[in-house]
Structure 1
């Protein structure tokens, strides 16, 4: 049996004894180096011990739910070969799921699904069943690095726990100006204080809407991770996101999601008849209108053709009025301090400017769910599978005055 290696304590004591020995005739430089190494190891051990004791004594706040063993590991959330615990896309969740692994191994007929939630999780608080306006935290707007910035990512995003969405919509008039609800004033001592109001609210009741589509895929492609990820990320997932952007803008609010442009009470700006204002100037004046409503705009959605006109706008000597870094990505697009999002979902000749995070919330019931089956119609006989992607969500436009619909002047 090999001799047991000396402990840190034994090594320390041996070095101390040598340092105290007046007759020590060894290499002093080597002794100093070994002493320094032991000192560092002991400091590291002390830090590790202190961290262990602090972690053992710590506890979660009262009421903080503890995950069950089933919640700790969900399909599609197993660590990958690089040790990453949570996949970052729906395709990764699907490819890394135990369900797909079992499906491939057995080759059995049937179907299975994997859900990937990229919406922020949280508790939905309510008053009489009506969700309260959630706290909004400033930060970097998340985006898929492979695609342009989406309109949905401009909004406050929250998780819903039910199928019915109820919220209150502020229909009060503007704060500034005469005849409004704000009666705040300087009051002489001993006199009556003015009462502000009336406040006006509408209770909106709607349901979460399902956005879905599917594509056929061959059995050979099912066995190829690269093709599967291409189908899920490149076609299915982005197709859902693109349709959701359309719904956010123009959904009718009944059979579809609630669109901001179809919500009553949003602001509107259009140059007066005969105006020669360029689109660049029109946006700046519309921004002022939003600021006067006390909801400073933070972004604007434009049709690509209108953004092209703005970027290519030149002064009298041929210089571009907008200085753009042509090597930067979509997230770098800005005008008048506003984040610019271009989308063909926005009709040419119009734009939507607003305080997106303060004016509306995207409530999502589930993340993107991917389902695969070989039992659809006669596809089993053709050795073909179906991959279906769906998600459920809706928009709560609780502060319409935070948005301004812009209509550009017709070209001369």
Structure 2
């Protein structure tokens, strides 16, 4: 017998020849997983199936442990102990009370920008007296090709809670998708409320089945619109990550979100994004002539109209002045009709089961109610792009830089009947 220990094969090739581990090393978890998967899928495998299943369980357990270890490592990297004057560069910075952009994202555009290789190189060039620019593009959430049916994002029931530093945005109510091109084409359903075309009925055996319809669609072709703005920042402030993130998150990023909210509501659809309120075919509700219905009652009746159209509303957008009238509305006994949580401003705001979004982008005296995810989709070409440069004629000699933020997007209002525009009666 040989004095050398026999090396066990880690698997077999399709022709039956054994696979031995590389000398001096061992197969990785990925290699082991792939080999076991191949054997499990092999209908002609004649080895010990019980032993193969045990190997599969062992490898699965080791992979899960490795994933848990990696997740814990990422979590620890994102924590800064109290009083630590010099956090590890790999950790997420916590610059005081700098506001974030109101979007639930584990790494904001500002954080990614200040940690980018492009910004580090830009700062090094500045130390050598060289001018230039730095650009950072946030990666899109996913890719949709023209050869496949656009896939829906994973949807979590309800509305994701937002940072209380900033109000909930209208854009957060919509279904959001990513586009690869610059032209957006979609079919807009102009058939009207479902109650007008849905002829489904119980049919007796042998009887003719009813035909639903008529259905009408318009092909809408538009382009993605660029929303952008910039601010000046001193070179000293740009060298401080905390101040730089404050500029990007607190001014640039949120400014883009606010403008996009206004475009989603009232964009003209030609030189601007497509606004829901400017889309033909949306429903309307206004109290009758001489009506004294308070705004609280008006919203409830408009909700019924949306439900009768068979597109259940999920949210209502209104001007802060109108929401103030609703919250401060009193009955004959001086009691508030709406029970508001005045001690917790971060609590979700709801009315008749609807999420309430208040924004000055909505004209006072009007509101928009609807099934937002059912009726419209926000298509985005890319995430927020951040650019910074010292190549500005008026600012170069003043040691001042320019930071610019932009994004490209548009709204496809594919089901106008899912929305109802409300016009409140004038207060006495």
Give the TM-score category using the shorter length.
0.7 to 0.9
Q: Structure 1 residues 93 and 272 mapped into 2: Cα distance closer, same or farther (>3 Å)? A: same
1:54 matched residue in structure 2: 60
Q: 307, 316, 330: which one pairs with 2:332?
A: 316
Larger Rg: 1
1:194 Cα offset (Å) = 2.1
> Larger deviation: 136-145 or 347-356?
136-145
1:239 matched residue in structure 2: 255
Equivalent position SS for 1:332: coil
Report the TM-score, using the length of structure 1 for normalisation: 0.76
1:169 matched residue in structure 2: 188
2:295 matched residue in structure 1: 279
Q: Is the 8 A contact 1:330 1:341 kept in 2?
A: no
1:154 matched residue in structure 2: 173
Q: Is the 8 A contact 2:341 2:347 kept in 1?
A: no
Q: 107, 111, 115: which one pairs with 1:88?
A: 107
Q: Structure 1 residues 137 and 202 mapped into 2: Cα distance closer, same or farther (>3 Å)? A: farther
* Structure 2: distance between partners of 1:50 and 1:271: 67
1:90 Cα offset (Å) = 1.6
Structure 2 spans left out of the alignment, 5+ residues: 1-54, 65-87, 94-104
1:193 Cα offset (Å) = 1.9
Q: Structure 1 residues 55 and 320 mapped into 2: Cα distance closer, same or farther (>3 Å)? A: same
1:87 Cα offset (Å) = 5.5
Report the TM-score, using the length of structure 2 for normalisation: 0.74
1:379 Cα offset (Å) = 1.9
Q: Structure 1 residues 80 and 396 mapped into 2: Cα distance closer, same or farther (>3 Å)? A: farther
Q: Structure 1 residues 378 and 82 mapped into 2: Cα distance closer, same or farther (>3 Å)? A: closer
Q: Is the 8 A contact 1:131 1:167 kept in 2?
A: no
1:202 Cα offset (Å) = 1.1
User: What RMSD, in angstroms, separates the aligned Cα atoms of the two structures?
Assistant: 2.4
Is structure 2 residue 403 aligned with structure 1 residue 381? Answer: no
Q: Is the 8 A contact 2:164 2:346 kept in 1?
A: no
Once the two structures are superposed, the pairs formed by residues 191-340 of structure 1 within 5 Å of their partners are: 191-330=207-346, 332-340=348-356
1:234 Cα offset (Å) = 1.2
* Structure 2: distance between partners of 1:98 and 1:211: 25
Q: Deviations over 1:242-300 (max 9, x none)?
A: 00000000000010000000000100000001000000000000000000011111110
1:390 matched residue in structure 2: 406
Q: Structure 1 residues 94 and 134 mapped into 2: Cα distance closer, same or farther (>3 Å)? A: closer
Q: Is the 8 A contact 1:168 1:398 kept in 2?
A: yes
* Structure 1: distance between partners of 2:152 and 2:414: 8
Q: Deviations over 1:215-238 (max 9, x none)?
A: 111111111222211211111111
Q: Is the 8 A contact 1:261 1:405 kept in 2?
A: yes
1:192 Cα offset (Å) = 2.1
1:52 Cα offset (Å) = 6.1
Structure 1 spans left out of the alignment, 5+ residues: 1-48, 59-78
Is structure 2 residue 137 aligned with structure 1 residue 115? Answer: yes
1:188 Cα offset (Å) = 2.9
Q: Is the 8 A contact 1:130 1:167 kept in 2?
A: no
1:106 matched residue in structure 2: 125
2:102 matched residue in structure 1: none
* Structure 2: distance between partners of 1:404 and 1:262: 12
Q: Is the 8 A contact 1:258 1:395 kept in 2?
A: yes
Equivalenced residue count is 337
